[in-house]
Structure 1
């Protein structure tokens, strides 16, 4: 059973953590707080649904460094940066490297909450895409080498006659492979195959 989305708040300031935890919980969202980037990493929440609310200035590992670590570890958790006035250039740089958004203190709480919800929605979409990619990859692995050759040409829009000529097989053999490809991919048509291929 999939867990509910969680807002992971990472800030070394206890007062900020407590305030954000209270604010987010008022929206009936699950929230977990951490006093450092290392504490979050140790808790192993990379595969959980939700988003990160991250202070850009923290000791040992700052927000930008954690964001880079998340990216290097294939995390799709959206990152929202919280920054002080003097750190705006650093936050802008984080946006360029993939942060979802950033907020300068003091921030508009309503806008922050709306941003958190948008980040959670994005994460849900990305998780669904990743899940579909895994399923499509597993189906592709069920194919024989010849079926994979036929699949690769089908998704490029090649006709049975062209595939037969390229692979030096009969039209009837192409039809047989095509039928098996559709069945193994749980596809109703070539259009479905093309759509699956685009998700990879």
Structure 2
């Protein structure tokens, strides 16, 4: 199963105290075009800078020191932590449920087919890419929104609430021409071409429409 050039920019961190399994899996992943790194225990992994790097983590449950579950719990507190795939000899249902609730994307039991594991790793990398792209989009949209003047933000809130320019002029105690100017500048700064773009930006940033204007419209 060949990996794409895009996937080669991501790392697969294999955390397992079984030297034979860890070494073998790392070799297979590297042969597939990925950059795989092995760690003997959770502590060794945490001492590296891997906890926030792009890619995914292939993790065992039972290891010396912090267990795989404890490492998963620690990673779940980090916004940019890579997805976790458990590959373990442990078949305890309670453990697998805990792992999935903590945010693991897969829980596989040894022995596992190589093609199955490579497929799950690819899915985890795709998921990590999607999450990172989404977080980057939020950061960029937040920066654009915060670049608006207070008046432009007020116009933005009114527009996504469905207010017309003349209604905004009354609400903001100014003339319609001024509102049009603020609206044009706001659209340019947000790189928005339509009302639909503005509504989507508001949704991504969790911004609610201006309640006063909504109330006036209903009245």
TM-score > 0.5 by shorter chain: yes
Please say which of residues 75-84 and 188-197 is displaced more in the overlay.
Answer: 188-197
CA change 1:109–1:88 in 2 (3 A) is farther
Shift of 1:24: 1.2
Please show how residues 11-90 of structure 1 align to structure 2 within 5 Å.
11-90=16-95
Shift of 1:198: 2.6
Equivalent position of 1:127 in the other structure = 132
Kindly indicate whether the alpha-carbon contact (under 8 Å) linking 1:88 and 1:104 is maintained by their aligned counterparts in 2: no
Please show how residues 41-190 of structure 1 align to structure 2 within 5 Å.
41-190=46-195
Q: TM-score, normalised by structure 2?
A: 0.83
What is the Cα-based RMSD across aligned positions, in Å?
1.9
5+ long unaligned stretches in structure 1: none
The residue matched to 2:36 in structure 1 has which SS?
strand
Q: TM-score, normalised by structure 1?
A: 0.90
Kindly indicate whether the alpha-carbon contact (under 8 Å) linking 1:56 and 1:91 is maintained by their aligned counterparts in 2: no
Structure 2 CA distance, aligned partners of 1:152 and 1:53? 44
Structure 2 CA distance, aligned partners of 1:181 and 1:38? 49
The residue matched to 1:72 in structure 2 has which SS?
coil
Shift of 1:187: 1.7
Larger Rg: 2
Structure 1 CA distance, aligned partners of 2:59 and 2:26? 13
Kindly indicate whether the alpha-carbon contact (under 8 Å) linking 1:56 and 1:83 is maintained by their aligned counterparts in 2: yes
Shift of 1:67: 1.5
5+ long unaligned stretches in structure 2: 1-5, 206-219
- For residue 195 of structure 1, the aligned residue among 197, 200, 203 is 200
